[in-house]
Amino acid sequence: MLSKALINILAANATLTAAVSDRIYPIIDIPDAAPKLSAIYYSVQMFPEGVKNGPVSNNHIVTFLIIASGYETSWSIAIKLRDALQFKEGTFKTVNFRLNRCESIEDEYEFTPINMYGQKIVFKIRTAYY
């Protein structure tokens, strides 16, 4: 459920979609050969909290991997992603986002033979499901 809500939020951001179009994929979809350029891959870890009554609250660590053909391009997409998701609150696809915070943005790798660059962005996200 969180993945669909994240894609919904990111796809609704015109600045981000101008850079990556609809190339937002789960991390398991990275091809073995060369990943798609100007694309965002993501993985989600969930840490549920037990509650007796009310909505179920969960803490998530969401890691995004941006892949682009140039170093400046990959950083530009990373900043656009951060701006699209940072402090976003509200209900999206039945998921109530309570707190989104960017924890880090860092250089992840450089594929010299195929001239690709990447940034890793880590978000902490707190949600409630009703």
pLDDT on residue 55: 60
Please give the Cα distance from 64 to 89 (Å, whole number): 19
In the chain, DSSP assigns E strands to: 24-26, 39-48, 56-68, 90-92, 95-111, 116-129
pLDDT on residue 107: 87
Q: Which CATH superfamily is domain 2-129 in?
A: Phage tail protein-like (3.30.2000.10)
Model pTM above 0.75:
yes
pLDDT on residue 15: 94
CA 110 to the chain's CA centroid: 20
Q: Which long-range contacts (CB under 8 A, 24 or more apart) does 6-11 make?
A: 6/42, 6/44, 6/62, 6/85, 8/92, 8/93, 9/84, 9/85, 9/88, 9/92, 9/97, 10/40, 10/81, 10/84, 10/85
Contact 49, 59 (CB under 8 A): yes
Mean pLDDT by 10 residues, the chain (130 residues): 86 93 82 72 81 73 89 92 91 84 85 74 84
Q: Under DSSP, is residue 31 helix (H, G, I), strand (E, B) or coil?
A: coil
Q: Under DSSP, is residue 13 helix (H, G, I), strand (E, B) or coil?
A: coil
pLDDT on residue 114: 66
